Amino acid sequence: MDFSNKVYADNAATTKMSKTAIAAMLPYLDTCYGNPSSLYELGQAAKEALEAARADMASCIGADPAEIFFTSCGSESDNQAIRSAAHIGALKGKKHIISTAFEHHAVLHTLKKLEKEEGFEVTLLDVHSNGIVAAEEVKAAIRPDTCLVTVMFANNEIGTVQPVKEIGAVCREAGVTFHTDAVQAVGHIPVNVKEQNIDMLSLSAHKFHGPKGIGALYCRRGVRLLPFIDGGAQERGRRAGTENVAEIVAMAAALKEACANMAGNTAKLVALRDKIISALTKIPHSRLNGDRVHRLPGTINMCFEGIEGEGLLLHLDDRGICASSGSACTSGSLDPSHVLLAIGLPHEVAHGSLRISLCEYNTEEDAERIIEAVPEVVAYLRNMSPVWKELERGEKKHLL
């Protein structure tokens, strides 16, 4: 199948593997395929590659190699971090957790299960209309029985970047463990776990041109981490199962490349992003979701009143443009995005959302195609929409 003429603008869902990552991966699928737990030379060669990758990952986020644990994905990392902190807190009589209303479902569903099945109390903070949580509100919510604060680094739908350093400082002062889901941030914006007061951090390779099915969890030295999978001594007893050496090596190569080129990639992406935002916000009754400045370099989320996001995506796909109406994990749902509802949008408006997420592989031509196609598709869908006609006749009040 030939997709070479497609404009791929859904990089927040997944990214194309870089040639660097593919090249790094191949030897560990072919010639150096040993089990890293084995004592013979072939296994030890794989072990050396594994530990070199761990060191590379650590250096990219300001951690020590011993603080990096490999997992299968960001969702697993979130689960292990949250459940570990919660269960350790419960042993001390602390069963209160603070998070936000617009976290990824890997966080929200885990918290809901802890609440329902294990008696934890969860406080979900508001993120306000700009999609940012205030560190002062985190501080005000901390109680003597708070065992964990988990706030995402950057939102996966609207791209807003949170004041992680300030939130971490509040948690450090209060003696509360701070976890951040940094799946959308790592490889795209500067992350330094020591400088930003982070105790635990989740990341996933396929968001920065690494392979799918591999991720990592940073856990600060001195913070207890409970095993998530039992059955072996791998990952220093924190996660049983033979390590996926090929994908781990590819992930480290992709992250090193992303961090080395971050400044140049950011400049390019911000220019493309702002060009698209400038054009699409000229569409009547449209809205850019999330803070205009404090956002990821390549993420745009907009709502267009009077249309359904699903129709918008299908018509854009017919024009060769791949985009999203929300997170990839919930794209099959017809419910409006919980993220857009959390920032105060009404259901009618939240249904008409579009997420465009760019990467360094996108071009000026891609941006021009998006700028041309989206207004035309919005106009076409509004022309067929009975809701839009009611709005235009004044039978309903415009919300945007």
- Return the active site residues: 329
What's the CA gap between 206 and 15, in Å, rounded?
6
Contact indicator for 198, 220 with CB cutoff of 8 Å: yes
Q: Is 199 helix (H, G, I), strand (E, B) or coil?
A: coil
Contact criterion met (CB below 8 Å) for 303 and 287? yes
Token pair listed for 79? 């689960």
Catalogue the long-range contacts made by 84-88 (C-beta closer than 8 Å, 24 or more residues apart): 84/224, 84/225, 84/226, 84/228, 85/147, 85/148, 85/177, 85/179, 85/200, 86/114, 86/118, 86/120, 86/147, 86/148, 87/226, 88/147, 88/224, 88/226
Cβ–Cβ < 8 Å for 290, 338: no
Q: Are 159 and 297 in contact (CB under 8 A)?
A: no
Give the torsion through C-alpha atoms of 88, 91, 79, 190, to 10 deg: -30
Residue owning tokens 């072990």? 47
Secondary element (H or E) of residue 350: helix 347-350
Hey, what are 181's tokens? Answer: 């889901």
